[in-house]
Structure 1
């Protein structure tokens, strides 16, 4: 079963940024940690996982960076390394079609609705939110899930409306408001305990 995560970076920059100030690039540090928690395990990488980062910050939104766990190379879990890959992707000219940056990393220009329409052909979409259905009740029925979550500010109302329309269900991993990367770790735990 393949899995994917779509993380919305509400203010994440859409141009190359300094690796000496990753948080200053619209909290790109949050997205880097989400990538690490999505893809990496001890001494390995989850080959069945894809990560999509929807970047909505200045100066040139929207852009999407896609990282394919099955083919990504030379990426390590530390924040600076992940940020380097994202920075390189943002320096590549792109349109609506995916452009390969290097092994396993792609960039494109897609609106939230366009991206979700495309992904819903390959995945069942689930929105992670505190008031959703308990993930343990949902996990047994999941088939190729894509989990949508926001950065440290959640999802803005207009994007949330699109996500709600396209989601199979709203799912929670905790009644508390957790950090995005913590939610991803818990989702993996729940899926792993059932499928392994």
Structure 2
């Protein structure tokens, strides 16, 4: 399973936001929705071997983690509003330390990055890391941030992670996911 963990520094942790104002009122939820779409959509198909975790750190009740699982995912269309509606619905559920499902393939629980790092060992996507094209073996899990840099506390708990770069230019989070998946696709195809 390929995994992407995206930190949403301002993303709301309740379903009380308008799908018409995801950049403002939802704390840049639009960035996270684009990451969801980049993680799953192919032309006329979905990637079933991907999980995308959204670590939500905004008001009013942080942190929460939303999980999209490709092998169970239903009702996702290739637009930001569709992903936003699924996030809004899952955030309306009461949650605790275990994932709770709202619609097929969409889950929520309390907890954030520290908890996820006990469950998986991602590489951190960083423009100063090792170029992904120079790596012999690629990790299956990746950590990246939304439109903001990692905070000091996030940097402190991730300083042990390997750092990988997707190229010389700094890309948006959703574009970075696309580049990583493209590199994985190329390697999988060449090994057939």
What interval of TM-score do these two structures reach, taking the shorter chain for normalisation? over 0.9
Work out the CA distance in 1 between the residues paired with 2:7 and 2:83: 16
Confirm whether residue 190 of structure 1 aligns to residue 183 of structure 2.
Answer: yes
State whether residues 6 and 52 of structure 1, in contact with CA within 8 Å, keep that contact through their aligned partners in structure 2. yes
Work out the CA distance in 2 between the residues paired with 1:21 and 1:111: 24
Work out the CA distance in 1 between the residues paired with 2:159 and 2:54: 18
- 1:147: Cα distance to partner? 0.6
Work out the CA distance in 2 between the residues paired with 1:191 and 1:114: 26
Q: Of the candidates 126, 130, 136, which is equivalent to residue 129 of structure 1? A: 126
Confirm whether residue 26 of structure 1 aligns to residue 27 of structure 2.
Answer: yes
- 1:116: Cα distance to partner? 1.3
| TM-score w.r.t. length of structure 2 | 0.94
Confirm whether residue 142 of structure 1 aligns to residue 141 of structure 2.
Answer: no
- 1:155: Cα distance to partner? 1.4
Contiguous gaps of at least 5 residues in structure 2:
none
Deviating above 3 A after TM superposition, structure 1's stretches of 4 or more consecutive aligned residues are: none
Describe the SS at the equivalent of 1:72: coil
Equivalences for 1:1-196 in 2 at 5 Å?
2-16=1-15, 17-24=17-24, 25-118=26-119, 120=120, 124-138=121-135, 140-143=136-139, 145-165=140-160, 167=161, 169-196=162-189
- 1:111: Cα distance to partner? 2.9
| TM-score w.r.t. length of structure 1 | 0.92
Work out the CA distance in 1 between the residues paired with 2:83 and 2:173: 16
Cα-to-partner distance string for 1:72-130 (whole Å, 9 max, x where unaligned): 00111100000000000110100111111121010001131112112x2xxx4100001
RMSD: 1.1
Contiguous gaps of at least 5 residues in structure 1:
none
Work out the CA distance in 1 between the residues paired with 2:138 and 2:172: 23
State whether residues 49 and 69 of structure 1, in contact with CA within 8 Å, keep that contact through their aligned partners in structure 2. yes
Describe the SS at the equivalent of 2:3: strand
Describe the SS at the equivalent of 2:12: coil
